[in-house]
Amino acid sequence: MLSTCFNSVGFNWLASPAATELEMVVMDWFAEMLKLPSSFKFSGSGGGVIQGTTSEAILCTLIAARDRALDRIGGNNIGKLIVYGSDQTHSTFVKACKIAGVLPCNIRSLPTTTDMDFSLSPSLVRAAVEADVANGFVPIYLCLTVGTTSSNAVDTIDQFSDVASDYGIWVHVDAAYAGSACICPEFRHYLNGIERVDSLSLSPHKWFLTYLDCCCLWVKNPSLLIRALSTNPEYLKNKPSESNLVIDYKDWQVGTGRKFRSLKLWLVLRSYGVENLQSHIRSDVRMAEMFEGFVRNDSQFEIVVPRRFALVCFRWNPDSSLVPAGHNVELMNRKLLDWINASGQVYMTHTIVGGVYMLRFAVGATLTEEPHVIAAWKLIKEGAQTLLVNRSFISC
């Protein structure tokens, strides 16, 4: 409410020194909590900006990577630029690539497999890069994910540093959801190798008790971002900006005007403190572990992919003695999901990974407690039993 009613439009320092400098402060605070190297902090050689969404964070860094490459090979060679992600990378990556002018045929969506828990293979990336270079293309950008949307798969950051360094590829880490957990020492290893990437983004509005919109983006070399995104019309020229001693956030984002997002994050950090925020994360993970235990201890259900953080991917798969011959497991789970959501008591979503349809149980709402998780499991069991009674309802 405060960040909205102040109606700050801090596109440059002069428009709102408080909004600008508070953003710089909270981005360095958050970087300290995540134990990011000084190369990502204003107190070091980097810096951070609060974007609206991960889509904007990816687009801005992609444009910076694009322009860095075109400065080297010439703007008329944009058709040679190649970018890389996995088939689990968020769909906004492809959208951002198209907006940035990367040809759709030059967007490499590399396959993931069950045996790697759907994380991206470093050897597959290197093979793809080497093949593209041999064919005259120019690799510019690799998007890694810590906590994919579908199943919370994690791309092991430090395993991609060498290929990126060998070919001058900008590496961005999308940790939109799971990055918040890395304020806890027991989860910080998921960011191992972050000192060798170019940018990192995570969204406090997902799991950090902060309201939309708030996506934190840190960059190691802000000058590349500014060079790609800066505008300097006459009516915005002023002495502080021309001194190069202040930050003008209009040059760190797509638009010019911007909200007072830093106030939201500042209030969360100051109101809860590090220990309470860590407790929030740990509590959600414990409740997800409890739900995972319910699933594993019931012969009618199964865990489909390993649980990470506070997301449990599972499916209903009763043995043949309980269901009609020729039953369709995917159809059964679709019917079960519809039944659960129609109850109005719990809302869940689904995904398909590796060709398997699964249900997603995510713990993360601010006021969720163990009784809610227990009640949700009872509801899921009730739905399964109801569908089993009406056998024609679940048959093909």
Burial class (CB in 10 A: 0-12, 13-18, 19+), 18: middle
**Average pLDDT of the segment spanning 349-372:** 94
**How far apart are alpha carbons 122 and 164 in whole angstroms?**
10
* Residue 308 DSSP label: B
Arithmetic mean of pLDDT over the chain: 93
Query: Helix (H, G, I), strand (E, B), or coil: what is residue 391?
Result: helix
Phi, psi (rounded to 5 degrees) for 356:
-105, 125
Amino acid at 278: Q
**Tokens at residue 204, please?**
């406090």
Q: Is it the case that residue 193 has pLDDT exceeding 90?
A: yes
The DSSP element (H or E) to which 43 belongs, if any, is none
Give residue-wise pLDDT tens across range 18-55: 999 999 999 999 999 999 999 999 999 999 999 999 99
Give residue-wise pLDDT tens across range 194-231: 999 999 999 999 999 998 899 999 999 999 999 999 98
Provide the pLDDT for residue 321.
Answer: 67
Pairing relation of β-strands 199-202 and 170-174?
parallel
Phi, psi (rounded to 5 degrees) for 154:
-125, 125
Q: Is it the case that residue 323 has pLDDT exceeding 80?
A: no
**How far apart are alpha carbons 60 and 156 in whole angstroms?**
23
Provide the pLDDT for residue 396.
Answer: 47
Query: Helix (H, G, I), strand (E, B), or coil: what is residue 85?
Result: strand
Cβ–Cβ under 8 Å, residues 252 and 60? yes
**Average pLDDT of the segment spanning 155-166:** 94
% of the chain at pLDDT higher than 70: 97
Cα–Cα distances (Å) from 73 to 102, 104, 143, 200, in that order, read 15, 20, 22, 26
Q: Give 390's pLDDT tier (boundaries 50, 70, 90).
A: confident
Give residue-wise pLDDT tens across range 277-314: 999 999 999 999 999 999 999 999 999 999 999 999 99
Q: Is it the case that residue 395 has pLDDT exceeding 80?
A: no
